[in-house]
Amino acid sequence: MGRVDGRTVIVTGGARGMGAAFARRLVAEGASVVLTDVLVDEGKAVAAELGSSAVFLPHDVTDEAAWIDVVAHAESVFGPVSGLVNNAGIVHVDPIETLSESDYRRVIDVNQLGVFLGMKSVVPSMRRAGGGSIVNISSIGGIISFTNILGYVASKWAVRGMTKAAAQEFGPLGIRVNSVHPGVVATEMTADSTRSNSMFHDQPLPRAGTPEELANLVLFLVSDESGYSTGSEFVADGGFTTH
């Protein structure tokens, strides 16, 4: 028996990296997964690999109408949604002095507005499912700060606060909401960072994390094993934020 048997779970940013690892882990434990992304070919490939328990949908998380369509498709194929992993995210590197308004807004739209729209859109379906679990992927950049990525830091701090506000509202509906705060995880998005070991040398676990390690944490939060946890931050950073 799988740990999430019978669950219908939406995973955004599911075409590669952590999102693809989340989809694989959830399917392996019995869930049916709708994975979404703007990377169409890569998303289709992951869904094909996972077989009949997964479908891929092209999806811009900043578009509310697209969210409504994703939830409706998930229900029509697999049944009411009981899990959402808001994983889609981008980063833009620039000092504040030269950061353009359009680049700042784009990061906020994907990382923050996308999470809001996702949470809003799944609530009716989760009511029909009898409850559910929302996992918002933030970052250690939502707990501490880093230079030259103002939009990313702002959005990830916002996700942390939005998670707590949603947990308060959704708790009486049987819907839990938690945030996950990875450190550097070895994915395409962090390839430049993980090439150098210098950033890990003061970290208690002196290495990058793996997508599979984060997938185990997400699985725990989607499952009933975390049934008394809501509005909380779950940090997986090799101890980076202990300093």
- State the catalytic residues: 152
Which of left, alpha, beta for 181 (phi over 0: left; psi -120 to 50: alpha)?
beta
For 50, phi then psi, to 5°, come to -85, -10
Task: Tally Cβ neighbours within 10 Å of residue 107.
Answer: 22
CA distance 136 to 119: 9
Report H helices in 87-201.
Answer: 101-108, 114-129, 150-170, 191-194
Alpha carbons within 13 angstroms on the beta-carbon side of residue 57 total 19
Task: Tally Cβ neighbours within 10 Å of residue 242.
Answer: 10
CA distance 237 to 214: 10
Helix, strand, coil % over all residues of the chain, rounded to 5:
55, 15, 30
Mapping DSSP to helix (H, G, I), strand (E, B) and coil, where does residue 12 land? strand
Q: What's the token pair of residue 48?
A: 């094909």
Q: Which of 241, 240, 190 is closest to 211 using CA atoms?
A: 190
Helix or strand (DSSP H, E) at 142: none
CA distance 109 to 103: 10
